[in-house]
Amino acid sequence: MWQRLIFLIIFAWSPYLNAQDGQIFTREKEFFIRGNSIVVGNTILSKNSKKAFDDLDKVNDEFKMKYVDIDNNEKTWSSSSANIVIPPEAEIVYAGLYWSATYAGESSGKRIKDNKVYHKTLDKRAHDFREVQLKINNGNYLSIYGDLIYDGEKSKNKSIKSRSPYACRADITAVLKSIKEAEITVANVAATQGEILGGSAAGWLVYVVYEDQSEPEQYISTFTGFEFVNKKPITIDFGNYNSSENGELQTIITLGALEGDSNLQRDQVSVFDPETKTFINLESKVRASENFFNSTITLYDEVFTARKPNSKNTLGFDLATIKIPKAQNTAIAQAAGGLKMELKTRKDRFFLFFTAFQTSISEQFFAQNNTNPYISTPRIVRQEVKIGVPDITVITKGKYKTPKSLDKELVELLEKPSEKIPNVRKGFYLITNVFLELENAEKWIKTLQRKNLESQMFYRDSNSSYYVFVDSGINAVRLYKVLEDVRKQERLKKSWILKINLD
């Protein structure tokens, strides 16, 4: 028996978008691992700043939307939280924070003239929406500066530009790696308050991949982009990811969406049944097949309430996990064409900004693909998908064997003893700088962001220093190729690879 799990995150908003108004999807991360994944999140705009909003018959168009702000901290203007639980024996290998909002300006209002409604942005953007605050339990806030996925303010489409939706992401693995059970609070997510055409909406989510020896071998891959779903359906083709074993297929989909109104009907998510040659709509006890996006946060057949505020109506933000019916699971498992998914709407609109694919695989299939990471890639059917360079992290037991015909520096790295650093995951780390002061390390991280380099850091007690790295993993050959490219950039010529906890 083998399983397949697919995680899909969607953001929704504007009525019009052409190819130049989106961001083509690229692969972010790729893992072969014995483990699993989890996603949590919450809204950041509502009718009330602290009190949960539970009227399911209302939509965000009807209110002057305001920031949710639950932390009683004068330094933050918006904040909400969600609880996450990781199995006791698990170890986090990747955690990504994603946030999105409509943000044409700080505030917007409307007036009625000649029986027509007019909306106007009252104040321009005042915040850098790429920077948010993150807090674990009752700790201090940590500034997180994200990578831009998409910014609608630069769109040539007037309808999109008037709302200016954006999406960002940040790797927060270093922050979450040691937690097992925690309340995650995200603050200072920028959005438009007041009234805009269609209503303003905003929210965030955290996607976590963890290693757990009690779980089966998994292949997990994440993708980001920004794709519009309007009256024309969008089909996602994930190709054939079958393992080397035959058996029953069990599929789970997780979706996150912006602007899924509770009383706007006829938005659907469906999967292709290769036996009947038709798309089958998905539904659950809390999500109707004809109104899938309904401004709720749900896990399978229940509302997820482990969050603050725990509004039943999140007024434009959706997060959901749902199982694919058993009949379609079996048909997909036996089909050679893999899995296809369709998203469509006749009233709501959606921006697809993130997907993550996960499948349980046999030990034999796992071993074969450790040395062959280039597996077929999901694609948007009606356009070409440009796939970025995959980040392969292979979690295996045993020591690394030095290949032949490698660069001398790389050979020396593989053969030298590794550094023993407590609380740091084993692997090779591409280090760009080391600092004694946390403030200086954070400034350096922002410098790397301006170079379009995503970075993290870890602390080493033995020399009281903060190490800033831009990549890591078990595959030293791949990492060395990245190092060669990094060294070509200004101020990064002295970057190096550090071998940690591998002996």
Q: What is the pLDDT of residue 3?
A: 43
Q: Give the chain's end-to-end CA distance (angstroms, integer).
A: 35
Q: What is the pLDDT of residue 76?
A: 96
Distance CA 256, CA 274 (A): 26
Dump strand ranges (E) for 282-385: 297-299, 302-303, 307-308, 317-323, 340-345, 350-360, 379-380
Provide the residue ranges of all domains of the chain, joining segments of one domain with +. Answer: 4-393, 398-500
Q: Which two tokens stand for residue 164?
A: 């200016």
Do 67 and 44 touch, CB atoms closer than 8 A?
Answer: yes
User: Residue for token digits 């410098």?
Assistant: 447
Q: What is the pLDDT of residue 477?
A: 83
Q: What is the pLDDT of residue 188?
A: 97
398-500 CATH pick, 3.40.50.1950, 3.30.70.920, 3.90.79.10, 3.30.70.1070: 3.30.70.1070
Q: What is the pLDDT of residue 414?
A: 82
Q: What is the pLDDT of residue 371?
A: 45
Distance CA 146, CA 143 (A): 10
Distance CA 184, CA 123 (A): 30
Q: What is the pTM of this model?
A: 0.71
Positions in the chain whose pLDDT score sits under 50? 1-20, 243-244, 371-405
Q: Using one digit for the tens of pLDDT, what is the confidence trace for 83-95?
A: 999 999 999 999 9
Do 238 and 315 touch, CB atoms closer than 8 A?
Answer: no
Q: What is the pLDDT of residue 404?
A: 43
Angle in degrees, CA 172, 428, 390, rounded to 5: 65
Q: What is the pLDDT of residue 463?
A: 87
